[in-house]
Structure 1
Amino acid sequence: MDSALIPKGLKRCSIGKFYLGIALVGAVVLWGVYAMLLVWIKGLNQTNMNDSYGFALWIWADLGIIALGGGAFFTGFLRYIIGKDELKNIINYAVVIGFVCYASAQLILGIDVGQPLRGWFIFWHANVHSMLTEVAFCLTCYFGVLVIEYIPLLLENRQIDKVPFFHNLGHNMHEIMAIFAATGAFLSFFHQGSLGGVAGVLYGRPFAVREGLFIWPWTFFLFTWSAAAFGPCFTLFVTRLTEKITGKKLVKQNVIDLLAKIAGWMMGTYIIAKIIDTWYWATVTAPSKGFTFMDFYSDNSFYGIWILIAEIVVGGIIPALILLSPKGRSNSTALFTAVSLACIGVLINRWVMVLQVMAHPVMTFENWFLYVPSWQEVATTILPVAGGIIVIALSYRYLPIFPQEKELNP
């Protein structure tokens, strides 16, 4: 039965080895589900959040996952709107990864809400003055777009495709996919930006607040820009990781090279904008609020100047230079190092824009508020990661995700 579901002409590992791996990851899922039930049944006292940390590990994970999932909307934009036809050989995997990332984000929000049965309140009782309302609507709608983009991949399963109705449905959905790609890019621009805008308008938090353009702080544009730059890096990271695990070549080098080059240019321009933003904030914005630059990186045991260097230099400038270099892109080790550092860089950015914002004291009589998440928070954050691994593994095994796989592995 298993072999009948595997795409024709492609080889996969034995069913025993596959489901052993699924069982191991499934154990992590069960651990996360147990922690999730504790949070839902006993409440947020299962966490280490407090009056200083209303935003904590879950919100960082949410913002980080959404940024990494940006590869789906940007690759779709490049493929269907800009017309980069070579990317048709990696767009399927970008959609799967994006689907997993946004499903994970929805799950984390469902845990963070505390009472998920009231999740519909944000739609029915929308606060039209809040950027988070825009995030909720756009995030949910874009997840719907990703579901629509994922359905044709499911319909291409070897057995499902034999049913004429599903075969024709999948074919027709592929024909109009450009519409959904454009819709996804539009929705992603606003919810990615609004997530950054939330930090930029926290006027009581001088580490986060920024000037901007009209009603949008600069962080609105930087978050969208970074998602378009670093999201494709995560797509390349997972693709390379899949190749290493399976021992197969799944995508031709020219496809990898094109997406890496575009990501490099996006990352390079983003880092320039980020440096300018940081310089202006450090020399103009922060002093106008009564703070010096080093006030935000001293007198505590964790948040030193190292974290800014790690974000901008190690996680930004270095990977951008590697991806902009033809030699760097053609070297498998250098490429994997670059996309790995890029993913770490954007996660550090989201960390400081959530947790360092909360940690820094805003009153002269206050000290830094440092925070260590509870095991329940850690387990529920790992839960969607483990679940995503299972979805990706099942998709790779039973769906023709990579059009070039058969050619590259005769």
Structure 2
Amino acid sequence: MDRALFPDGVERCSFGKFVLWMGFISAFFLFGLYAMLLIFYKGIVVTGLDNYFGFGLWITFDLAVIALGAGAFFTGFLKYILKIDQLKNIINLTVIVGFICYSGAMLVLTMDIGQPIRAWFGYWHPNVHSMLTEVIFCITCYCLVLVIEFVPLVLEQKQLNKIPFLHHLAHNMHVNMALFAGIGAFLSTFHQGSLGGMYGVLQGRPYAFREGFFIWPWTFFLFVLSAVGCGPIFTVLCCTLMEKMTGRKLVDFKTKALMGKIAGTMLTVYIFFKILDTWAWANNYLPSVGMTFDQMFYGVIYGKWLMFTEIILCGLVPAIMLITPSIRNNPTLLYTAGILDCIGISLNRYLFTVQSIAMPILPFDNWQFYAPNWAEWATSGMIVAYGILVMSLSYRYLPVFPQERGMNK
């Protein structure tokens, strides 16, 4: 029924199967939409958040997807600024993944601020002393950059591309894509860093507070490094999942291995400095404020095993795997390392968000416990469903993968 809309020379599943798939995913999206509308109507009182935990699942999810979407700006920088031509085989997918992650993150924030009708206050009445102001403006601007980068791909859809004006518009936008890639790299670097810096300046939260360089705590730089250490490999995982589900080859393994090498190199740099930072924090900063390393943890839910999992199992291990050619060139081991990498960075965002708040900071305080309820899970699932819907439509109708036609003859 819609074969005329497919990219040239490729096959897609029947329209009936596609409708069933989209309907199945849409059910999750609609359930999350119901939860979101309920939150907009009644406020965040219907969630598991309270006066103690203003940050929870949503902010953890938000920070995680922003880090995982960093493949867009970093791959764009490598492709258009440093001229690594092989990345042209996967650059379109990184843009789509980045667009989904950033637009989804902004949607999450409309719920977390509690009063979305006042979302514009951050722009019109900015707190110039807050790192969140930089985050607000940089995320918004970079999301617009991703829209600009996504538009040419949409305009290259087979039927749209037959319209002369749209054809020339897409061509001219591609010609100037290096400009947008540079702007995107600048904006994304600063907001990734400021998200980490936001935690690093919290002197009342010893788990998160860090000293640093000039006005930037070390978490500013660690968040940037961690994002570029997981973003490229997350795109590879998305591509591989699409290949498994569609039964078609989309990107050659050489390109995937290159993305793994890039991610592994940056992850190694990150883990090196993360270990140094953790050591300095435990041996210098904590004793200076009269606290011990053991006081930062409690029981199983906030135990040391989480930090060990983040830094060693899901940090050092995948870093070694990704920078070792013999391991990286094995598909199964590459994907395993990628999964561990993404879990580790997501766990890092959880620890900085939830454990930092849960820890008692006054003599009469106790450890607090937070459990997200159905509304938070449903709306987070809605963002995932939204991403799957956008990716499914893009795969079916847009020329996302330049190698697909040649690899599936």
Report if TM-score (shorter chain) is over 0.5: yes
The corresponding residue for 2:115 is 115
Q: Secondary structure at the match of 1:19?
A: helix
TM superposition shift of 1:265: 0.7
The corresponding residue for 2:49 is 49
TM superposition shift of 1:162: 0.5
The corresponding residue for 1:383 is 382
**1: CA distance between counterparts of 2:337 and 2:14?**
33
**2: CA distance between counterparts of 1:331 and 1:19?**
36
Deviations 1:186-232 (A, max 9, x none): 00011000000000000000000000000000000000111111111
Task: Please tell me the residue identity of whatever aligns with 1:175.
Answer: V
**1: CA distance between counterparts of 2:36 and 2:290?**
42
TM superposition shift of 1:254: 1.8
TM superposition shift of 1:290: 1.8
Counterparts of residues 53-68 of structure 1 (less than 5 Å) = 53-68=53-68
The corresponding residue for 2:85 is 85
**2: CA distance between counterparts of 1:20 and 1:256?**
30
Task: Please tell me the residue identity of whatever aligns with 1:352.
Answer: L
**1: CA distance between counterparts of 2:360 and 2:32?**
33
Deviations 1:253-286 (A, max 9, x none): 2211211111111101110100000000011111
The corresponding residue for 2:157 is 157
Task: Please tell me the residue identity of whatever aligns with 1:276.
Answer: L
Task: Please tell me the residue identity of whatever aligns with 1:337.
Answer: T
Task: Please tell me the residue identity of whatever aligns with 1:379.
Answer: A
The corresponding residue for 1:329 is 328
| Count of matched residue pairs | 409
**2: CA distance between counterparts of 1:240 and 1:328?**
17
Counterparts of residues 5-404 of structure 1 (less than 5 Å) = 5-298=5-298, 300-404=299-403
TM superposition shift of 1:114: 2.1
Contact 2:212–2:218, Cα closer than 8 Å, also in 1: yes
TM superposition shift of 1:87: 0.2
TM superposition shift of 1:331: 1.3
**1: CA distance between counterparts of 2:378 and 2:342?**
21
Deviations 1:2-47 (A, max 9, x none): 1011101100111111111111110000110010011110111101
Task: Please tell me the residue identity of whatever aligns with 1:388.
Answer: G
Task: Please tell me the residue identity of whatever aligns with 2:320.
Answer: L
Deviations 1:234-254 (A, max 9, x none): 111101111111112111122
**2: CA distance between counterparts of 1:104 and 1:43?**
20
TM superposition shift of 1:364: 2.5
Task: Please tell me the residue identity of whatever aligns with 2:75.
Answer: T
**1: CA distance between counterparts of 2:119 and 2:51?**
22
Deviations 1:363-397 (A, max 9, x none): 23221101001110111111111100000010011
Contact 2:360–2:366, Cα closer than 8 Å, also in 1: yes
**2: CA distance between counterparts of 1:207 and 1:127?**
25
TM superposition shift of 1:184: 0.2
**2: CA distance between counterparts of 1:252 and 1:301?**
43
Task: Please tell me the residue identity of whatever aligns with 2:309.
Answer: A
Contact 2:68–2:234, Cα closer than 8 Å, also in 1: yes
Superposition CA RMSD, Å: 0.9
Q: Secondary structure at the match of 1:275?
A: helix
**2: CA distance between counterparts of 1:54 and 1:114?**
10
Greater than 3 Å deviation, 4+ residue runs: none
Task: Please tell me the residue identity of whatever aligns with 1:361.
Answer: P
Q: Secondary structure at the match of 2:301?
A: coil
TM superposition shift of 1:301: 3.9
TM superposition shift of 1:98: 0.2
**2: CA distance between counterparts of 1:330 and 1:408?**
19
Task: Please tell me the residue identity of whatever aligns with 2:111.
Answer: I
Task: Please tell me the residue identity of whatever aligns with 1:255.
Answer: T
Q: Secondary structure at the match of 2:236?
A: helix
**1: CA distance between counterparts of 2:254 and 2:77?**
19
Deviations 1:313-368 (A, max 9, x none): 11111111111121222211111111111110100000001001011111232211
**1: CA distance between counterparts of 2:71 and 2:24?**
28
Deviations 1:43-79 (A, max 9, x none): 1110121221111111111111100000000000110
Task: Please tell me the residue identity of whatever aligns with 1:345.
Answer: G
1:408 and 2:407 matched: yes
**1: CA distance between counterparts of 2:106 and 2:382?**
12
Q: Secondary structure at the match of 2:364?
A: coil
Deviations 1:103-139 (A, max 9, x none): 1001000111222221111101111111000000000
Q: Secondary structure at the match of 2:114?
A: coil
Q: Secondary structure at the match of 2:366?
A: coil
Task: Please tell me the residue identity of whatever aligns with 1:25.
Answer: I
